[in-house]
Amino acid sequence: MRFYQLISFCLLFTQVITCSYPSSQGNSANPAQKGAVMASQEKTVTPLSPAQVSFSEKAVEQKAMTWRVLQSFDTGQKRYVLFGSDQLTDPYQGDTNIQESRALLCLKKLNLPLPSELPPTTKTPGGALRGSWSGARVVIIPKVKGSELTSLEIANERCRLAGLKTWKEDGFRMAEFHDGDQEAGWAGWDFWAEIPPSQCIDNRRYWVWINDQPPANPW
């Protein structure tokens, strides 16, 4: 009797050992096979190359150029603003992280007559004409994240839609560093333009692009 009890106990113990190693391949799989299957299902993580790391850091730290309002005056019927660079502006490498939000300055050249109230222009030591009349109207889009301006075309389209809404005119685009009076000389660093009375101007900063210094642009 004890002999049969011993045989039954061994059979039960064998079943317990077998069930302790479940496998997708049935009871024929052993622990070594199971480990191989699990290893093949593990996700492979490929480390970033130095070039990829460098690109990621650049994307986080990239800066773009900004301007601010330097002067303004109101004739009672129209408002004119001098937008331009200040001590913070860097037209070579950019000055404001593109992860931040600033206003987007948009412009449409219309050859508007020179307002008599404008102060005279000046020249920089390098010969650039400052404080010149752009002959243009501007529109401001507040709170635009620099990283959203992934190309000039995208920036221009946002400006076009804002111009249609504010001025009821097509053809607005992102303002550029040299949008002053090029007929009067090599204009740069700032320009005067007409602004709609409905738009608020304050100490905010404005995204402006530059056509000959790619590192200073947000894209």
Q: Rounded to two decimals, what is the model's pTM? A: 0.73
Q: What is the per-residue pLDDT for 57?
A: 52
Q: What is the per-residue pLDDT for 109?
A: 98
Q: What is the per-residue pLDDT for 164?
A: 97
- Taking every pair of C-alpha atoms in the chain, what is the biggest distance, in angstroms? 122
The pLDDT profile of the chain, 219 residues, written as one tens digit per residue, is 444 444 444 444 344 333 333 333 344 444 344 344 333 334 344 444 544 444 445 556 899 999 999 999 999 889 999 999 999 999 999 999 999 999 999 999 999 999 999 999 999 999 999 999 999 999 999 999 999 999 999 999 999 999 999 999 999 999 999 999 999 889 999 999 999 988 888 889 999 999 999 999 999
